[in-house]
Amino acid sequence: MLRFLLNRLAKAAVVLGVVVVLNFLLIHAAPGDPATVMAGEAGAADQMFVDQLRKQFGLDRPLHVQLGTYVSHILQGDLGFSFRQQRPVADLLLDRLPATVVLTLSAFTLALAGGIALGLLAAVNVGKWADSAITVVALLSYATPIYWVGLMLVLVFSVNLGWLPAFGYESIGAGHAGLARMGDIARHMILPVATLGLFYMAVYTRMTRASALEVSSMDFVKTARAKGQSEWRIVTRHVLRNAILPVLTVAGVQAGQLIGGSILVETVFAWPGLGRLTFDAVLQRDYQVLLGVFFVTSVLVVAFNIVTDVLYVLVDPRVEIAK
Amino acid sequence: MNRDFLHAFARNKGAVLGLAIVGAVILVALAADLLFPASPWEMAGAPFGRPLADGMLMGTDMLGRDIASGVAHGARVSLLIGLASTLAAVAIGVLLGAVAGYYGGRLDDLLMRFTELFQTIPNFVLVVVIVAIFTPSLVSIVVAIALVSWAPLARLVRGEFLSLRSREFVQAAITCGQGDATIIFRQILPNCMSPIIVSASLMVATAILLESSLSFLGLGDPNAMSWGFMVGSARTVLRQAWWMCFFPGFAILLTVLGLNLIGEGLNDAFNPRLRRKRKA
């Protein structure tokens, strides 16, 4: 297990290294050099200021030296400075990270658990009405733009029915504390988590259904049935454990898309996470923040991947033996 | 395409429905200027007009622009970007996948690590960063979407090439002295067109979703009316005017659904064995 983990960590380090280089190249490929961009962001673009910035950030030195400086800064946790917000990018990101992690983790759990359950339910009832209903709903959710689902949910549950808050993280000025505050936050979470979770639930439902159907036709399932095992035991012990494997693989790969989706969902619900920060940075063309978001979301994706890899080993003991 | 294939496709109700939807969207996109001769940016009536009031099918937005006209003209941008970025992504994916699968060995290893990397990094965030830095335009959007979309296809093509490479017809071509490029493009590639076509049709759908998300965030081409932009700009008046958000978003839903249905229909029609197994 230790060797397996070390192997995964090394892989993660490579991915992050490439992301850092990509970030560096992107900021240099941008129209106008970084000093002009920074001067523009700081709101003063006269030549002397630009030259001063160029010297201060070592932009007059060769490219590979600059890359070295850039990497060493990142290793020290320095992700640059946002002139628009007058704060270090790392601080801005750290402020917003918890809200995004809470949102994406909840949505991920909902999508995975719901998707596997619904997919299995459809596979067990293949050809019957439950299967058709689940398939159609999954097909529709899979085709819907995530931000639009969020807006429509707000329209129904906040504007028309008035059941749930339409935006924010908690009620401002309500003065809730302790358990009441947790409940308040939970109420605010329902719509964003449902919006983000539904789309990916559709993906996992479709995958689980297909893979459960494939597993169901295999010999060991027939054997279990011939031995007279109960249908419930066959589905949970034999079909589910095997059918879940490809779903976990895809879930790990899609973690990146889930986090991308959270940008849209946070924009719709004014959720105070990285997504909101990204939206504001887009409006203000705050490149340093955008590149920081790209780096931090990559870190998140890599972490998600390690978690799903470990889950995979736990569910399927054969994997480790094969390594 | 043979008759069996067409029969199989036509028997699939979902696929036919998808074809009808996408066909209708293409027609509307082509006829947008005939149906709505005025620019979709121009004022056509009173602001905040409800659907069907004043002869506006889908109502007007906060500046009195005709929503129906915007939806019709927006179809062009969606289809154009969906197709262009898919073509570019298919070109990259097929080339890298073919080279990796055909030559194998270290080159394959290297190319596949590179591909994996592009599958891992957060796609949408990268698209946002690229388009924001290079300023939004049709070209930068197409390039950015293509850059994040080719990886799964490259893996697929590589797998096909890996298994086809050792077949007799390829051995025969090598014995005849055909060059690598000829074997790759004339011999092997035509034999793995069906999975490529299936993925491409699904990629168009994903690209349309990506483009609409970009426009929703305000990163669309500023000169083109698009569905995502319409939803994004109407977001703040959702409480007063649901129709401004509803219709453009519904247009995206229909188009993407249609493309997905076509993709699945193609998949089933290309793999008759799979289809029979599913029915059993």
pLDDT (tens digit per residue) in A229-262: 777 877 777 788 788 888 887 787 777 788 888 8
Please report, rounded to a whole number, the percentage of residues in chain B having pLDDT higher than 70.
Answer: 92
Provide the pLDDT for residue A175. Answer: 66
pLDDT, chain A, mean: 80
Query: How far B167 CA sits from the closest chain A CA (Å)?
Result: 27
Domain annotation covers residue B234: yes
pLDDT confidence band for B143 (50 / 70 / 90): very high
**What is the reported pTM?**
0.85
| DSSP for chain B, written as a single string | --HHHHHHHHH-HHHHHHHHHHHHHHHHHHHHHHH--S-TTSB-S-TTPPTTGGG-TT-B-TT-BBHHHHHHHHHHHHHHHHHHHHHHHHHHHHHHHHHHHHH-HHHHHHHHHHHHHHHHS-HHHHHHHHHHHT---HHHHHHHHHHHHHHHHHHHHHHHHHHHTTSHHHHHHHHTT--HHHIIIIIIGGGGHHHHHHHHHHHHHHHHHHHHHHHHTT-S-TTS--HHHHHHHHGGGTTT-HHHHHHHHHHHHHHHHHHHHHHHHHHHHH-HHHHHHHH-
Q: What local confidence, expressed as pLDDT, does residue B1 receive? A: 54
- B145 pLDDT more than 90: yes
Query: Residue A143 pLDDT more than 80?
Result: yes
Q: Touching check for B237 and chain A: CB below 8 Å?
A: no
Q: Is A163 helix (H, G, I), strand (E, B) or coil?
A: coil
ipTM: 0.83
Distance CA A109, CA A116 (A): 11
Express as a percent the part of chain A with pLDDT over 70: 87
Give the model's pLDDT for residue A323.
43
User: Chain B contacts of A282, Cβ < 8 Å?
Assistant: 128, 132, 217-219
Residue B104 lies in a domain: yes
Q: Which of B117, B125, B139, B278 to mutate to test the interface with A (most CBs of A within 10 A)?
A: B125
What mean pLDDT do residues B115-127 have? 85
Cα–Cα distances in angstroms (integers) from residue A8 to residues A18, A309, A321, B112, B271, in the given order:
16, 8, 16, 17, 36
Separation CA B127–CA A190 (nearest Å): 28
Interface test with A, best of B114, B117, B129, B135 (most A CBs within 10 A): B129
Predicted confidence band at B146 (pLDDT cuts at 50, 70, 90)? very high
Question: Tokens 């639930």 identify what position?
Answer: A201
User: Cα B234 from chain centroid?
Assistant: 25
Confidence of residue A322 (pLDDT cuts 50, 70, 90): very low
Kindly provide the b/e burial profile for residues B162-191, where b requires at least 16 CB atoms within 10 angstroms of the residue's own CB: eebbeeeebeebeeeeeeeeebbeebbbee
Across the interface, whether the CB atoms of A152 and B219 are under 8 A apart is answered no
Instruction: Write down the pLDDT at residue A42.
Output: 67
- Map tokens 């601080």 to a residue: A91
pLDDT of residue A278: 86
CA distance linking residue B68 with residue B54, whole number of Å: 13
Task: Flag whether pLDDT at A138 surpasses 70.
Answer: yes
Per the domain annotation, does B95 fall within a domain? Answer: yes
Query: For residues A304 and A240, what is the distance between their CA atoms, to the nearest angstrom?
Result: 22
Residue of A nearest to B261 (CA): A139
Residue-averaged pLDDT of chain B: 84
What is the average per-residue pLDDT within B131-156? Answer: 90
pLDDT per position as a tens digit, B66-76? 777 888 888 88
When pLDDT is averaged across residues A259-276 and rounded to a whole number, the result is 85
Percent of chain B with pLDDT over 90: 18
With respect to residue B206, please indicate whether it lies within any of the assigned structural domains: yes
What is the domain-level CATH number for residue B127? 1.10.3720.10
Domain count for chain B, please give it.
Answer: 1
Whether residue A10 is predicted with pLDDT greater than 60 in this model: the reply is yes
Residue B49 resides in a domain: no
Residue B51 counted as domain residue = no
Residues B212, A294: C-beta atoms closer than 8 Å? no
Quick: pLDDT tens for A169-228.
Answer: 766 666 666 777 777 777 777 888 888 988 888 888 988 888 888 887 778 877 877 787
Phi/psi at A88 (5° precision): -60, 140
How far is it, in rounded angstroms, from Cα B39 to Cα B223? 11
Tell me the C-alpha distance between A194 and A117, whole Å.
16
Instruction: Show the tokens assigned to B182.
Output: 């000829």
Q: What is the pLDDT of residue B279?
A: 43
End-to-end CA distance of chain B: 26
Please state, in angstroms and rounded to a whole number, the distance separating the CA atoms of residues B237 and A155.
Answer: 11
B24, B16 in Cβ contact below 8 A? no
Task: State the pLDDT at residue B184.
Answer: 84
| Contact call for B129 and A305, based on CB within 8 A | no
Tokens found for residue A262: 């959270």
User: Would you state the pLDDT for residue A123?
Assistant: 84
DSSP H/E element including A88? strand A87-88
- C-alpha span between A153 and A197 (Å, rounded): 13
Overall size of chain A counted in residues: 323
Q: Is residue B226 part of a domain?
A: yes
- Map tokens 């991915």 to a residue: A15
Which residue range forms the structural domain that includes residue B241?
A: 3-44+57-279
- Tell me if B153 is assigned to some domain: yes
Question: From residue B242, how far is each of B61, B62, B79 by CA, in Å?
Answer: 10, 12, 25
pLDDT at position B274:
56
What pLDDT band is residue B93 in, cutting at 50, 70 and 90? very high
B128 — contact with chain A (CB < 8 Å)? yes
Q: B228-267: per-residue pLDDT in tens?
A: 888 888 887 777 778 878 888 899 999 999 998 998 888 8
pLDDT score of B26 more than 80 = yes
Disruptive mutation site among A11, A25, A148 for chain B (greatest number of B CBs within 10 Å): A148
Q: Where are the alpha helices (DSSP H) in A82-128?
A: 89-124
pLDDT of residue B280: 36
